[in-house]
């Protein structure tokens, strides 16, 4: 066994330049929080505990080191947030009294989850689990460490922020097999997101170590963390049961994000306004059967959603046996699509759909996909290749080129989950209304893309609040100045037109009825022009009597 005192507790490489690791930059003299296991604590007299990586709803994740196999590992400790704590100098968890009756059930779920995953080594999308055991009155899982990046970060690194269906198919389809096996073993993941799907060095996509099912239910005592756009309605509301369709919803949302470039609207808002939007320029590149599969997987209520992973896989594959069924899936979205800017699923060119099915069936596409897979693995390997680190030779501040964020479909969560950007810049967010950017999309940045600035420079990103609207007030009978002030205070532009005054109205006042267009009470976009009709001066005419003589 190597001398633990000479290893970095974060990456477990040799320390060669003092306490700060030359490999990962971790400061090994950083004071550890006593509520977690002390660094270099041995579990089962074999597994050395390292630095804390995260504290999730049900457990803490540590870096770890297997002293017998001389390799880096990941250690997961059952440690439910808000329910358990650890007193200084004590390895045993302290459970809050009010949760004493629940804790054993949660710990049993944790042990069963990881014991099941330990038996699933053959599945390509599961990070291998080596050992599961109880110690310190809690439970632990020992997991293989794998170099990886989250799917969200990979997508952000792509020039367009999206990938093609051919690439997505290679990435996502093997994961469905793993999810299906989880379901067959009674496990619902409950938190599949672009952050929990990890792209590993070998080119495979794997499910990040995840929490027990009770964490995915807002009605339990465990901390419930939602991910807007990916959390299904049944996780908020126990009127609907969490089931395999819960994972299908989240997985469909991940495919949507990869193909479209934005998160789908969250399910709660979709109850009031069920609209899934795909720009025409993107939709025309997605096979119709994939769009229909996503439509079925993203149904709001689980009772209407596709029920099993095998059926969902068939829809995505567009196999002949299910093509008729795919065509008959009720297209509930066509009546909710903004027809001026977004595709109507039900009216896409049938020839496009036919070409997609034929292309999938042709043997040549399999060859292309195989080549694409090789290119993808090479490309991805370059992306996650560890950065070479060198000791700074001067104290000059590093400079970084400001990326192009505004106008490229990025959301606030996309930026917050990009570790590189947050290390390079001091990023903050503000909100404002926009006529052009959808709600939640970043449309303005304080520093132009391409400019080079020092590390830590403040970069302010403006997130769209959507189109601001206001109700047109009743200005009838008011003077023009009064009416203009009321309207302009609400953000409207005002133009006027003079209308005939028969003498029964005060000149310079707004028409008594239908005085504006749009009319009072209508909700319109702020900044829109309001036409105000104003009575003019009273006009009088004098008709001269006829002086022509009657010759008869």
One digit per residue, the tens of pLDDT, for the chain of length 552 reads 678 888 999 999 999 888 999 989 999 998 888 889 999 999 999 999 999 999 999 999 999 999 999 999 999 999 998 888 887 778 998 887 778 888 999 999 999 999 999 998 878 888 899 999 999 999 999 999 999 999 999 999 887 889 999 999 999 999 999 999 999 988 899 889 999 999 998 888 999 878 988 888 888 888 888 888 999 999 887 678 889 999 999 999 999 999 999 999 888 888 877 777 788 888 889 999 999 999 999 999 999 999 999 999 999 987 544 444 444 443 433 333 333 334 433 333 344 444 444 444 444 455 455 545 554 544 444 444 444 444 444 456 788 889 888 877 788 887 888 778 888 999 999 998 886 677 888 989 999 988 999 999 999 999 988 877 888 899 988 999 999 999 999 888 888 888 888 888 889 999 887 788 777 887 777 877 788 888 888 866 544 444 344 443
- The strand pairing partners of 144, in sequence order, are 73
Q: What is the pLDDT of residue 516?
A: 85
pTM of the model: 0.59
Output DSSP code: residue 519.
Answer: P
Output DSSP code: residue 26.
Answer: -
Helix (H) or strand (E) holding 271: helix 267-272
Q: What is the pLDDT of residue 342?
A: 43
Q: What is the pLDDT of residue 469?
A: 82
Q: How far apart are CA 350 and CA 359, in angstroms?
A: 14
Yes or no: say if 292 and 350 are a contact pair by the CB < 8 Å rule.
no
DSSP class per residue in 355-404? HHHHHHHSHHHHHHHHHHHHHHHHHHHHHHSPPP----SS-PPPEEEPP-
The predicted-structure confidence for 365-419, as pLDDT tens digits, reads as follows 554 555 455 545 444 444 444 444 444 444 567 888 898 888 777 888 878 887 7
Q: What is the pLDDT of residue 312?
A: 95
Q: What is the CA radius of gyration of the chain?
A: 31
Collapse the DSSP code of 484 into the 3-class scheme (helix H, G, I; strand E, B; otherwise coil) and give the result: helix
Q: What is the pLDDT of residue 99?
A: 83
Q: How far is CA 472 from CA 95, 260, 355, in A?
A: 58, 36, 49
Of 312, 44, 345, the closest CA to residue 175 belongs to: 312
Output DSSP code: residue 92.
Answer: S
Q: How far apart are CA 291 and CA 346, in angstroms?
A: 10
Q: What is the pLDDT of residue 145?
A: 94
- Exposure on the CB side of residue 416, measured as CA atoms within 13 A: 7
DSSP class per residue in 139-197? EEEEEE---EEEHHHHHHHSTTS---HHHHHHHHHHHHHHHHHHHHTT-------TTTE
Q: How far apart are CA 33 and CA 142, in angstroms?
A: 22
The Cα angle at residue 503 between residues 500 and 505, in degrees rounded to 5 = 80
Yes or no: say if 511 and 531 are a contact pair by the CB < 8 Å rule.
no
Q: What is the pLDDT of residue 381?
A: 45
The predicted-structure confidence for 235-272, as pLDDT tens digits, reads as follows 887 678 889 999 999 999 999 999 999 999 888 888 87
Yes or no: say if 449 and 419 are a contact pair by the CB < 8 Å rule.
no
- Exposure on the CB side of residue 158, measured as CA atoms within 13 A: 21
Of 424, 373, 430, the closest CA to residue 402 belongs to: 424
Q: How far is CA 527 from CA 94, 433, 478, 491, 514, in A?
A: 58, 11, 21, 6, 20
Q: How far is CA 414 from CA 204, 338, 383, 405, 427, in A?
A: 22, 25, 18, 10, 12
Q: How far apart are CA 385 and CA 382, in angstroms?
A: 5
Collapse the DSSP code of 458 into the 3-class scheme (helix H, G, I; strand E, B; otherwise coil) and give the result: strand
């Amino acid at each position: 066994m190597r001398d633990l005192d000479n290893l970095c507790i974060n990456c477990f490489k040799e320390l060669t330049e003092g306490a700060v690791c030359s490999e990962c930059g971790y400061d090994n003299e950083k004071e550890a929080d006593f509520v977690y296991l002390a660094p270099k604590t041995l579990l089962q007299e074999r597994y050395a505990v390292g630095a804390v990586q995260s504290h999730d709803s049900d457990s803490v994740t540590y870096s770890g080191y297997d002293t017998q196999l001389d390799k880096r590992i990941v250690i997961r400790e059952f440690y439910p947030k808000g329910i358990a704590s650890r007193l200084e100098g004590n390895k045993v968890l302290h459970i809050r009294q009010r949760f004493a009756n629940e804790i054993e059930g949660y710990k049993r779920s944790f042990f069963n989850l990881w014991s099941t995953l330990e038996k699933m080594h053959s599945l390509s999308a599961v990070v291998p689990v080596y050992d599961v055991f109880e110690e310190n009155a809690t439970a632990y899982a020992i997991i293989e460490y794998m170099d990886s990046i989250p799917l969200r970060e990979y997508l952000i690194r792509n020039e367009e922020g999206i990938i093609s269906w051919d690439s997505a198919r290679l990435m996502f389809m093997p994961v469905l097999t793993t999810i299906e096996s989880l379901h067959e073993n009674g496990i619902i993941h409950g938190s599949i997101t672009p952050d929990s799907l990890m792209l590993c060095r070998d080119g495979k996509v794997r499910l990040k170590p995840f929490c027990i099912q009770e964490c995915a239910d807002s009605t339990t005592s465990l901390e419930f963390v939602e991910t807007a756009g990916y959390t299904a309605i049944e996780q908020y509301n126990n009127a609907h049961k969490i089931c395999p369709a819960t994972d299908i919803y989240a997985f469909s949302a991940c495919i949507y994000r990869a193909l479209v470039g934005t998160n789908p609207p969250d399910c709660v808002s979709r109850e009031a306004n069920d609209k899934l939007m795909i720009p025409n320029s993107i939709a025309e590149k997605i096979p119709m059967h994939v769009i229909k599969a996503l439509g079925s997987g993203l149904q709001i209520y689980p009772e209407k959603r596709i029920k099993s992973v095998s059926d969902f896989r068939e829809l995505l594959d567009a196999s002949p046996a299910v093509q008729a069924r795919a065509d008959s899936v009720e297209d509930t979205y066509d009546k909710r699509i903004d027809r001026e800017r977004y595709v109507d699923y039900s009216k896409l060119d049938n020839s496009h759909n036919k070409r997609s099915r034929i292309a999938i069936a042709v043997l040549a596409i399999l060859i292309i996909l195989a080549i694409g897979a090789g290119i993808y693995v090479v490309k991805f390997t370059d992306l996650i290749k560890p950065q070479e680190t060198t000791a700074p030779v001067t104290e000059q501040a590093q400079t970084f080129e400001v990326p192009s964020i505004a106008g490229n479909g990025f959301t606030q969560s996309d930026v917050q989950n990009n570790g590189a950007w947050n290390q390079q810049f001091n990023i903050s967010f503000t909100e404002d209304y926009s006529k052009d950017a959808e709600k939640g999309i970043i449309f303005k940045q304080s520093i132009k893309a391409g400019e080079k600035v020092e590390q830590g420079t403040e970069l302010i990103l403006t997130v769209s609040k959507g189109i601001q609207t206001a109700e047109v007030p009743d200005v009838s009978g008011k003077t023009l100045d009064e009416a203009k002030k009321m309207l302009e205070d609400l953000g409207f532009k005002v133009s006027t037109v003079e209308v005939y005054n028969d003498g029964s109205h005060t000149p310079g006042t707004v028409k008594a009825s239908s005085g504006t267009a749009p009319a009072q009470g209508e909700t319109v976009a702020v900044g829109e022009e309001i036409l105000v009709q104003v009575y003019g001066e009273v006009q009088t005419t004098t008709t001269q009597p006829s002086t022509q003589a009657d010759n008869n």
